[in-house]
Amino acid sequence: MMRCLILVTLAVAFTYLALASDASANRTKRQYATSKQPYWQVGQLDPLLSKACRKGEFGQRKLKLLTIGFIGGKGRAQTGIAKTGWNLADPNGLAQPKMTYHFFNQGYSNCKVYKARNPRSR
């Protein structure tokens, strides 16, 4: 009887731990959010900034300091986030005010930069 009670207690504890950790299972330490949408829907693709990123002239100061994880069936990826005044290396002054930049594959020849309006403050 006591052995059965211990086994039931352990089963309940493991179930609770599995459920509690399930919400954060898809997030990394520096992840701002997750989305089931494809990564290319995070904002508008900017060809000029993407070219500058590939040349190392526009990008994040520290790679993946903050990210969004795209975990859906299509377009699985992780994009780094930067904006003027925060984690953005922009020696040629290409950035626009009130925009957030999302970087896919920074440091590679297929780097893509997506731009989106800054979220409104609460």
pLDDT digits 0-9 by tens, 63-95: 889 999 999 999 999 999 999 999 999 999 999
pTM listed for this prediction: 0.74
What does the pLDDT read at residue 113? 98
Q: Residue 11 corresponds to which tokens in the numbers above?
A: 């089963």
Q: Residue 29 corresponds to which tokens in the numbers above?
A: 């330490």
3-state secondary structure at position 38:
coil
Confidence of residue 122 (pLDDT cuts 50, 70, 90): low
Q: Residue 47 corresponds to which tokens in the numbers above?
A: 């060809």
